[in-house]
């Protein structure tokens, strides 16, 4: 009989128990009567007949039991009974139950929260139907003669380029050619565009998408309609889609938004729809606020032309049609590539004539996402070919958020879980020992081994389930807290981390593992109890001591880890960045988005600086084209010193600044001067270098007055030397840097489109923000101020990860200590009660209270000592693992260990 049928019968017999029992009763009664009748017919008198019948009947209860057994109800009923018993026991010891549930809850909750975030990073696919049909398309081939490429591209060892960007006309050819096998869609990122809607100004990020994007990817609108192919035609009315989160954030989900105009770069776009919650664009993990058709690109990015053949900016994905294969799609794409890119677009070099075949660029041959490799005919590699990559998680262009910090946190959380389990195991063991009498009695009454173990395990499972329940609640809160804490840092862009079945599965698994871990041992112990032993007092259980030692060890590990991280963090905090972070307000202006061209941009920045400088409470104002300590880098190409040309270095850090920069940031000028009003575009080009630069290029000589060659032909004269400062990351060493006057910066299309204003204030910087806004309004009321914050906050964001990790680990360590304290306390209490008679004897023999306790105390200490010892052994290899996370702290730092030990006592 099938499993389900018997399960069903068993379950039914439990619940319909009443009726089935009654029926059985009736059947028995009938049988009994018939037997009696039979006996009477045989000649017995009625009374004797009945008696005899009953005798042959056997024990009625036993019969019923056997019948119930056949039903299979026994197991279910036993489980129910065990559960009730478990509940009763827990209610009797509420303290124990509470501690167990809370510690389990925290441990499981932490693990689940972190895992669900990890899950979001590693596994989630785009929230569209059939994501496995999606393909990301890249292009590999010889160098193309293009000037503008927006996208990611790498150069393969044999000189070919792997790129993901296409130009508009070729893209349209791809769409047409591949139409039979797949829906080819295109998109491109808009980094920032200034938008105005309902009177407010804000900066938005978003996507340009092809007309068939929504249909191809498989996303529909929850309000209004999506963008369609007829919207993606030059000359059509500009339309826009908003993302769900943006719509909620900015307009509170107002459905009247349909049909309203949103002004982008001074052109109105009609809002025609809102996309669903959970869809954040084809690049999973980036939150795009806005979607507009490809054809509106000239409005958004006026410096580039839509149909310019030199402009390669469209990234391509495709949805494979039912019944078509990747090979067919690739064939169609390659055909279109060949037909639409003429020979003279390629830059030929002798290197590309070799006959070796190289596998798809950028990705290793064994990259599981690679679907179609270059086939045999690609051996010529004399033209562009397409590569298909699995696109179920969207386009990987931006690269994945690093999973490492989360894995690390998960490990720490795992350790805490282990500690919690060890704790519980120890507590349960001590309790089971005190219940020896009860267990011995049960055994005497005939309880089988399986029954006893099952009963013990049921209780553990009960605890585990309750613990998980509280853990689940904690994890929801915990995940929100983690996301919140990470929120402002780009690493956590759009990690929605929705809970899905994988997380639930994980949690359930964890629960059962925990239950097994801490339930099994005590349950097994109950088997070994013999009646005689139960009546004597016995020395403390070895298992209990082992668990305490284990906890001590784990707690120690956590403490050491936390201590190291804290020290590392403190060290980082104390690094001198080379300039004064205090009382600095910084924000960004985007001149390009504001519609300024050429020299107007610089003019804007200068006027802004003047206006702000006039505010009372402002000490000085500076402008630079990059902010410091914000993970942003700008480099210049090769640099040589004219009178010592052998030293040539490339990729040096550079900054365009106003003269006030050094004063505002309080960077000491070691020699020479700062930029002055005399440094204008037409006068001699000047540069200020930092110490490292001077040392590298000039050695002991005085750099002042010397000439420096940048690139092929631009010559600068060194007019000043400043102290070293950190550039983009606080942890990095100071490197050679060049400072150019902003007034002499080139004013081409891409130069100076953004700039950062640094304001040194006398008092609290944030207090001056309204005044600054007012001042800016006199300069240009339509220009938004972006990323307004203080420099210290800016810097903190870059070291956020370290800070967060150390905080988390401290929390974990505290939990670990808490748990092991409970464990030790429990062990001591239990031991004392066990050895009461021993203590009594000692006292009777004349020992004072302290002395009597001492041997017990000593043994506990011994146990703790063992734990510490093992812990120290384990710390050594683990420390090696952590090494790269630390900053100038030796993993085997004796100070940390010393502190940890003293903490323990």
Partner 1 sequence: MATTPNDLLQGTLGLLVLRAIRDERRHGWGIQQRINQIAQDALSVNQGSLYPALIRLEKQSLIKSKWGTSEAGRRAKFYSLTAKGRRQMEKETEIWKQFSDTIDLILQSI
Nearer to partner 1 (CB atom), residue 7 or residue 233:
7
Kindly give the interhelix angle for 836-844 and 849-882, rounded to the nearest 10 degrees: 130
Stretch that binds partner 1, among 30-38, 323-331, 523-531, 870-878 (CB under 8 A): 30-38
By CB under 8 A, is residue 67 in contact with partner 1? yes
- Least distance in Å: CB of 327 to partner 1? 53
Count the helix, strand and coil residues of the chain and give each as a percent rounded to the nearest 5: 50, 20, 30
By CB under 8 A, is residue 23 in contact with partner 1? yes
Distant-in-sequence contacts of 245-254, Cβ < 8 A, 24+ apart: 245/277, 245/280, 245/287, 245/289, 246/204, 246/289, 246/290, 247/223, 247/274, 250/197, 250/200, 250/202, 251/198
Nearest Cα to Cα of residue 283 among 209, 365, 215:
209
Q: How many residues bind partner 1 (CB under 8 A)?
A: 26
Nearest Cα to Cα of residue 111 among 514, 619, 554:
514
Tokens describing residue 209: 């998408």
Q: How many residues does the chain have?
A: 905
Nearest Cα to Cα of residue 186 among 209, 203, 153, 204:
209
List 16, 46, 48, 57, residue binding partner 1 (CB under 8 A):
57
Cβ neighbors of 618 (< 8 A, separation 6 or more) are: 612, 759, 760, 761, 762, 768
Nearer to partner 1 (CB atom), residue 58 or residue 129:
58
Nearer to partner 1 (CB atom), residue 53 or residue 317:
53
Nearer to partner 1 (CB atom), residue 21 or residue 780:
21
Nearer to partner 1 (CB atom), residue 70 or residue 377:
70
List 28, 277, 447, 615, residue binding partner 1 (CB under 8 A):
28
Nearer to partner 1 (CB atom), residue 3 or residue 501:
3
- Least distance in Å: CB of 1 to partner 1? 5
By CB under 8 A, is residue 18 in contact with partner 1? no
- Least distance in Å: CB of 450 to partner 1? 21
List 7, 11, 16, 34, residue binding partner 1 (CB under 8 A):
34
Kindly give the interhelix angle for 94-122 and 501-525, rounded to the nearest 10 degrees: 140
Nearest Cα to Cα of residue 356 among 388, 331, 385, 378:
378
Q: In 138-195, which ranges are continuous DSSP H helix? A: 168-178
- Least distance in Å: CB of 44 to partner 1? 17
* DSSP string covering 414-435: HHHHHHHHHHHHHHHHHHHHHT
- Least distance in Å: CB of 4 to partner 1? 13
By CB under 8 A, is residue 299 in contact with partner 1? no
Cβ–Cβ < 8 Å for 529, 794:
no
Nearest Cα to Cα of residue 199 among 114, 122, 261:
261
By CB under 8 A, is residue 66 in contact with partner 1? yes
Stretch that binds partner 1, among 59-67, 106-114, 183-191, 251-259 (CB under 8 A): 59-67
Residue 717, strand partner residues: 686, 707
- Least distance in Å: CB of 449 to partner 1? 24
By CB under 8 A, is residue 579 in contact with partner 1? no
Cβ–Cβ < 8 Å for 161, 141:
yes
Stretch that binds partner 1, among 1-9, 213-221, 640-648, 730-738 (CB under 8 A): 1-9
Distances in Å between the Cα of 475 and the Cα atoms of 105, 495, 507 are: 9, 16, 10
Cβ–Cβ < 8 Å for 641, 647:
yes
List 15, 25, 51, 70, residue binding partner 1 (CB under 8 A):
70
By CB under 8 A, is residue 26 in contact with partner 1? yes
Stretch that binds partner 1, among 27-35, 205-213, 481-489, 878-886 (CB under 8 A): 27-35
Query: How many helical (H) and strand (E) elements, i.e. helices and strands, does the chain have?
Result: 26, 28
Largest CA distance in the chain: 139
List 14, 39, 71, 360, residue binding partner 1 (CB under 8 A):
71
Taking the C-alpha atoms of residue 420 and residue 513, their distance in angstroms, rounded to an integer, is 12
CA atoms within 13 A on the CB side of 706: 20
At 781, is the secondary structure helix, strand, or coil?
Answer: coil
Taking the C-alpha atoms of residue 380 and residue 376, their distance in angstroms, rounded to an integer, is 9
- Least distance in Å: CB of 439 to partner 1? 31
Task: Round the CA-based radius of gyration of the chain to a whole number and report it.
Answer: 38
- Least distance in Å: CB of 371 to partner 1? 51
* DSSP string covering 654-706: EEEE-THHHHHHTPPEEEE----TT--TTS--EEEEEHHHIIIIITTS--TT-
By CB under 8 A, is residue 603 in contact with partner 1? no
Nearer to partner 1 (CB atom), residue 7 or residue 307:
7
- Least distance in Å: CB of 70 to partner 1? 4
By CB under 8 A, is residue 46 in contact with partner 1? no
Stretch that binds partner 1, among 53-61, 287-295, 667-675, 820-828 (CB under 8 A): 53-61
By CB under 8 A, is residue 58 in contact with partner 1? yes
160-179 b/e (C-beta count within 10 Å ≥ 16 → b): bbbbbbbbbebbbbbbebbe
List 33, 254, 303, 375, residue binding partner 1 (CB under 8 A):
33
- Least distance in Å: CB of 29 to partner 1? 10
By CB under 8 A, is residue 63 in contact with partner 1? yes
Nearer to partner 1 (CB atom), residue 38 or residue 888:
38
- Least distance in Å: CB of 2 to partner 1? 10
- Least distance in Å: CB of 55 to partner 1? 10
By CB under 8 A, is residue 27 in contact with partner 1? yes
By CB under 8 A, is residue 22 in contact with partner 1? no
By CB under 8 A, is residue 85 in contact with partner 1? no
Nearer to partner 1 (CB atom), residue 69 or residue 132:
69
Cβ–Cβ < 8 Å for 738, 687:
yes
By CB under 8 A, is residue 6 in contact with partner 1? yes
By CB under 8 A, is residue 375 in contact with partner 1? no
List 62, 91, 536, 542, residue binding partner 1 (CB under 8 A):
62
Cβ–Cβ < 8 Å for 589, 602:
no
By CB under 8 A, is residue 1 in contact with partner 1? yes
By CB under 8 A, is residue 699 in contact with partner 1? no
Stretch that binds partner 1, among 28-36, 155-163, 204-212, 729-737 (CB under 8 A): 28-36
- Least distance in Å: CB of 11 to partner 1? 13
Nearer to partner 1 (CB atom), residue 71 or residue 115:
71
| Residue found under tokens 């040096």 | 652
Q: Tell which positions 553-572 bind partner 1, by CB under 8 A.
A: none
By CB under 8 A, is residue 44 in contact with partner 1? no
Q: Are strands 669-672 and 686-690 parallel, antiparallel or unpaired?
A: unpaired
Taking the C-alpha atoms of residue 461 and residue 478, their distance in angstroms, rounded to an integer, is 24
By CB under 8 A, is residue 9 in contact with partner 1? yes
- Least distance in Å: CB of 57 to partner 1? 5
- Least distance in Å: CB of 59 to partner 1? 8
By CB under 8 A, is residue 19 in contact with partner 1? no
By CB under 8 A, is residue 16 in contact with partner 1? no
Nearer to partner 1 (CB atom), residue 56 or residue 350:
56
Q: Which residues are at the interface with partner 1 (CB under 8 A)?
A: 1, 6, 9, 23-24, 26-28, 30-31, 33-35, 38, 56-59, 62-63, 66-67, 69-72
């Amino acid at each position: 009989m099938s499993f389900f049928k018997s399960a069903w019968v068993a379950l039914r017999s439990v619940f319909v128990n009443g009726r089935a029992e009654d029926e059985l009763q009736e059947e028995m009664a009938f049988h009994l009567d018939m037997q009696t009748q039979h006996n009477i017919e045989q000649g017995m008198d009625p009374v004797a007949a009945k008696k005899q019948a009953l005798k042959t009947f056997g024990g009625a209860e036993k019969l019923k039991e056997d019948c119930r057994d056949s039903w299979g109800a026994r197991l279910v009923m036993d489980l129910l009974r065990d559960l009730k018993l478990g509940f009763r026991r827990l209610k009797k010891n509420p303290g124990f139950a509470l501690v167990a549930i809370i510690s389990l809850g925290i441990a499981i909750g932490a693990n689940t929260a972190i895992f669900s975030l990890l899950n979001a990073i590693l596994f989630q696919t785009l929230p569209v139907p059939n994501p496995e049909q999606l393909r990301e398309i890249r292009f590999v081939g010889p160098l193309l003669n293009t000037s503008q490429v927006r996208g990611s591209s790498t150069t393969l060892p044999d000189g070919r380029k792997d790129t993901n960007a296409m130009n508009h006309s070729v893209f349209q050819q791809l769409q047409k050619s591949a139409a039979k096998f797949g829906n080819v869609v295109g998109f491109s990122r808009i980094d920032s565009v200034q938008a105005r809607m309902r009177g407010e100004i804000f900066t938005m990020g978003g996507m340009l998408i092809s007309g068939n994007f929504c249909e191809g990817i498989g996303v529909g609108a929850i309000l209004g309609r999506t963008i369609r192919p007829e919207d993606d035609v030059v000359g059509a009315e500009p339309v826009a889609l908003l993302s769900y989160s943006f719509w909620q954030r900015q307009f509170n989900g107002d459905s009247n938004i349909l049909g309203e105009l949103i002004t982008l770069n001074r052109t109105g776009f009609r809002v025609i729809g809102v996309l669903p919650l959970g869809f954040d664009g084809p690049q999973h993990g980036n939150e795009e606020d806005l979607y507009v058709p490809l054809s509106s690109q000239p409005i958004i990015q006026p410096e580039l032309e839509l149909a310019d053949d030199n402009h390669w900016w469209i990234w391509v994905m495709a949805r494979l049609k039912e019944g078509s294969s990747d090979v067919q799609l690739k064939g169609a794409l390659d055909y279109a590539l060949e037909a639409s890119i003429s020979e003279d677009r390629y830059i030929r070099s002798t290197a590309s004539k070799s006959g070796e075949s190289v596998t798809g660029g950028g990705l290793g041959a064994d990259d599981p996402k690679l679907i179609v490799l270059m086939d045999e005919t690609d051996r010529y590699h004399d033209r562009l070919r397409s590569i298909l990559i699995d696109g179920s998680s969207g386009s990987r262009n931006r690269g994945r958020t690093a999973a490492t910090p989360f894995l690390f946190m998960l490990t720490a959380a795992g350790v805490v879980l282990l500690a919690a389990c060890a704790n519980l195991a120890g507590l349960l063991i001590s309790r089971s020992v005190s219940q020896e009498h009860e267990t011995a009695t049960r055994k005497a009454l005939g309880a089988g081994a399986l029954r006893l173990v099952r009963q013990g395990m049921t209780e553990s499972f009960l605890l585990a389930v309750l613990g998980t329940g509280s853990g689940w609640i904690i994890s929801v809160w915990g995940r929100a807290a983690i996301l919140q804490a990470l929120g402002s840092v780009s690493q956590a862009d759009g990690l929605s981390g929705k809970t899905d079945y994988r997380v639930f599965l994980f949690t359930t698994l964890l629960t059962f593992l925990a239950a097994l871990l801490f339930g099994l041992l005590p349950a097994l112990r109950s088997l070994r109890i013999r009646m005689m032993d139960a009546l004597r007092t016995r020395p403390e259980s070895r298992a209990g001591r082992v668990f305490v030692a284990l906890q001590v060890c784990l707690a120690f590990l956590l403490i050491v880890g936390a201590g190291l991280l804290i020290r590392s963090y403190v060290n980082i905090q104390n690094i001198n960045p080379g300039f004064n972070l205090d009382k600095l307000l910084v924000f960004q202006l985007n001149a390009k988005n504001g519609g300024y061209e050429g020299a107007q941009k610089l003019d804007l920045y200068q006027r802004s600086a003047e206006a702000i400088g006039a505010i009372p409470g402002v000490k000085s104002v500076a402008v630079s084209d990059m902010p410091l300590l914000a993970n942003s880098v700008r480099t210049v190409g090769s640099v040589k010193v004219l009178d010592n040309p052998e030293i040539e270095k490339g990729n040096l850090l550079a900054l365009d600044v106003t003269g006030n920069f050094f004063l505002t940031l309080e960077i000491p000028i070691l020699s020479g001067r700062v930029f002055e009003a005399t440094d204008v575009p037409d006068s001699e080009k000047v540069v200020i270098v930092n110490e490292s630069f001077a040392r590298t290029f000039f050695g002991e000589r005085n750099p002042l007055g010397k000439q420096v060659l940048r690139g092929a032909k631009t010559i600068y004269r060194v007019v000043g030397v400043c102290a070293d400062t950190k550039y983009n990351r606080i942890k990095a060493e100071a490197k050679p840097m060049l400072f150019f006057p902003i007034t002499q910066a080139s004013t081409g299309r891409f130069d100076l489109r953004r700039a950062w204003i640094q304001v040194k204030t006398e008092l609290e910087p944030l207090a001056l923000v309204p005044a600054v806004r007012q001042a800016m309004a006199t300069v240009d009321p339509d220009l938004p101020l972006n990323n307004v914050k203080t420099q210290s906050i800016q810097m903190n964001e870059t070291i956020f990860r370290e800070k967060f990790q150390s905080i988390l680990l401290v929390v974990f360590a505290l939990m670990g200590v808490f748990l092991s304290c409970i464990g030790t306390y429990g062990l001591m209490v239990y031991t004392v009660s066990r050895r009461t008679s021993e203590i009594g004897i000692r006292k009777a023999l004349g020992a004072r209270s302290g002395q009597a306790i001492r041997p017990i105390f000593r043994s506990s200490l011994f146990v703790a000592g063992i734990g510490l010892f093992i812990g120290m052994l384990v710390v050594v290899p683990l420390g090696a693992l952590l090494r790269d996370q630390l900053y100038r702290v030796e993993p085997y730092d004796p100070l940390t260990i010393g502190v940890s030990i003293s903490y323990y006592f």
